[in-house]
Structure 1
Amino acid sequence: MTEQYWAYGAAAAIALVIISGFVLFLAALISVLRSPLRGGMTLVWVAFTLCAPFLGPLLWFLFGRTSAYGDAR
């Protein structure tokens, strides 16, 4: 019976990681599209977000967003 609870806990943890990654991906995609970047840089960030679904959004929120909005945000 205890093994069954471990299996449910592991499945819930995996589901939480997958859902969190998907939410991060969608938030980054929306943020890139709403940013003041125009033309080529928007396309580069969207492509990077699509090609690297975890690393792309993470880098956008750490570096891209601050450079797009400057020091105002």
Structure 2
Amino acid sequence: MTNSISLLAEEQVPESYGWLAGGIGAVIVIALLVFWVASLISIIRSGYSVGVKILLAMAAFAYPFLGPLIWFLFARHKEHKTRMDR
């Protein structure tokens, strides 16, 4: 079964582009990992309370691409409105 799947994959990608498919996949995975780690660091450094940080981190874990994307597009810029004055 595994051999037939690998043969199908080899037939779809010409040998001259085989290295490119693997390289692009690795770059995408590394970029997503960096994006995810950056969102966790940003969540930890934010001014939200501990409970909100835990919920945001859980969302980033549950949805590894969508959670950080929502954080960077919407939630990160609103933290100054909810930050408590010290």
Shared fold (TM-score greater than 0.5)?
A: yes
Give the TM-score range, shorter chain.
Answer: 0.7 to 0.9
Deviations 1:11-60 (A, max 9, x none): 11100110000000000000000000112211110000011111100100
Alignment pair present for 1:29 and 2:40: yes
> TM-score normalized by structure 2?
0.74
Give the structure 1 partner of residue 79 of structure 2: 68
State the superposition RMSD in angstroms: 1.1
Aligned residues: 68
Output the CA distance in 2 between the equivalents of 1:69 and 1:31. Answer: 14
> TM-score normalized by structure 1?
0.86
Output the CA distance in 2 between the equivalents of 1:5 and 1:22. Answer: 28
Alignment pair present for 1:18 and 2:22: no
Return the letter of the residue paired with 1:27.
A
Return the letter of the residue paired with 2:63.
A
Greater Cα radius of gyration, structure 1 or 2: 2
Q: List gaps (5 residues or longer) in structure 2.
A: 1-13, 82-86
Relative contact order (C-alpha < 8 Å, sep 6+): which is higher? 1
Q: List gaps (5 residues or longer) in structure 1.
A: none
